[in-house]
Chains A and B, each alone.
Chain A
Amino acid sequence: MNEKNLVLSVSPHIRSEESVKKVMWFTVLSLAFPAASAVYFFGLYPLLVMLVSAFTAVVAECILLKLRGRDVSQCLDGSAVVTGILLALTLPPRFPLWEAALGAAFAIVFAKQFFGGIGQNIFNPALVGRAFLMAAFPVDATTWSPTRFMSPDTFTGATPLANFKFEKVLTPYKDLFFGNVAGSMGETSALLIILGGLVLILKGYVDFRLPLSYIASVFCFGGIMWLINPSKYPDPLFHILAGGLMLGAFYMITDMVTSPITRKGRVIYGILGGFLVVLIRLFAGYPEGVMFSILIVNSIRPWIDRLTKPRVLGEV
């Protein structure tokens, strides 16, 4: 059978100008914003990490597609590049290159190809890669660097979240918003991430409900805890500006493959995710909860889809 004549796919069957290639490469473009923040605050090395990570991801995908007997050209559809860059953005600014490459390969091979390739993965591959790297190289994955505006002597080596959780030290909102704080190379600047995210929303690739409900949920739950005990828990503004929440809200939880189909489902998804973020940040051993919160809601996404399935007309 000539593969090109018959195309089998899952409904809904909609003809549109869009294709995976288009969406993915546009996303790569929008990633220029957080990438720029990484370079601006931490220098050119982060750019190298992003390139190595993206390159390895593409190569890994090519190899796996070949081994699986699938169409190898699929590796150039841009999705591996997105995974590679996103993974890099979640890493500390001075993360070793070969380790980043290993993480990217792991993400593509284990979290994407082993599940069946694009569209079939349950978990966000970039975050799986990050989780793997955190387990494989816990020291490197938590070694932070000062931005070029900070003086190296006073740098404590901790992120704003860790500073609050273990030292009870608050970081000024200005720094949190513009990005002059320690953290993963792409997560520090809320401003630039929001800009990149807006681009995706305006183009229609991201449903605004997802980042909105996620961020709002963190704000609310964080706010509740803060009202209960302002000296022990940080205020909600700190919650949404610090750590990887912005990056997670606009780029991770919004991943098309792993987010719910229905609008109602997306809102629930975001609320649940936000709750988990606050729970982990305040009560678990880790200072940051975004990565785990998204991976956890990834796992229940099919259930949310089923819950929010629209009723067929006439169905009793």
Chain B
Amino acid sequence: MAQNSRKPGYELVKGFFKENPVLVQLLGICSVLAVSNTVVNSISMGVSVLFVLFFSSLVIGLIKDLIPNEVRIPAYIVVIATFVTVADLFLKAKFPDISKALGAYIPLIVVNCIILARQEAFTKKNKLLPSILDAIGMGTGYIITILLMGIIREILGFGSIFGVKIFGSWFKPILVMILPPGAFLTLAMLIGFMNFITRKSEEKKL
């Protein structure tokens, strides 16, 4: 398989831009849309997803050969759900405000397509180290995207970053940005921009 001849470093960085799970693979979009209205929420969600993805890929990478093929999906889901629950309980205990802000979207990480997709598309077919790097890379790519969304939406919709107002009182927040329509608009612009850059770099290669 061609993948075996790729450098391990590639498996790590491909998730940042080239195969960015949200902007290129269009996975995990609903969590990005739902909780990216402030930078704090975005980072919390991003870190949670990275946590789950990392440990899921690690565990599944370790035991993948032991699981009969017919039951691999339930097995993967149990592993993923376990780590999501751990993350959820941890947030509820140590960061109750964030837990409240993210609400139901933390448990929903279980069905975040990115995590199961990476297991199916990569972890189960590759060795452990590339799988771990893949997980870290995809998770980081997710964080980059949702963080970008969070920054744009919080600046335009609240006039602040991390809850700190950065404009003076003259600033009139564009409220729609922190509401769902704003999320869709921002994500659309980001995806469009990503496509634009990709096309330009392909044209340059020719």
Interface residues of A (CB under 8 A from B): 96, 99, 102, 110, 132, 135-138
Contacts and interface: CB of A to CB of B under 8 A. Distances in A.
A99 B185 CA distance: 17
Interface string B164-206: 0000000010111101011001000000000000000000000
Contacts, number: 19
Interface of B: 172, 174-177, 179, 181-182, 185
A100 to B, nearest CB: 13
Nearest to B180: A135
Contacts of B179: 135
Which of A99, A110, A135 has the most B CB atoms < 10 Å from its CB? A135
A70 B172 CA distance: 34
A135 B181 contact: yes
Contacts of A132: 176, 181
B168 to A, nearest CB: 16
A143 to B, nearest CB: 13
Given A102-B174, A137-B172, 15 more contacts: A96-B172, A99-B172, A110-B185, A132-B176, A132-B181, A135-B175, A135-B176, A135-B179, A135-B181, A135-B182, A136-B175, A136-B177, A137-B174, A137-B175, A138-B175
15 contacts: A99-B172, A102-B174, A110-B185, A132-B176, A132-B181, A135-B175, A135-B179, A135-B181, A135-B182, A136-B174, A136-B175, A136-B176, A136-B177, A137-B172, A138-B175
Nearest to B185: A110
A136 B177 CA distance: 7
A232 B182 CA distance: 36
Contacts of B175: 135-138
A102 B156 CA distance: 13
A96 B181 CA distance: 22
A135 B174 CA distance: 8
A132 B181 CA distance: 9
Nearest to A67: B196
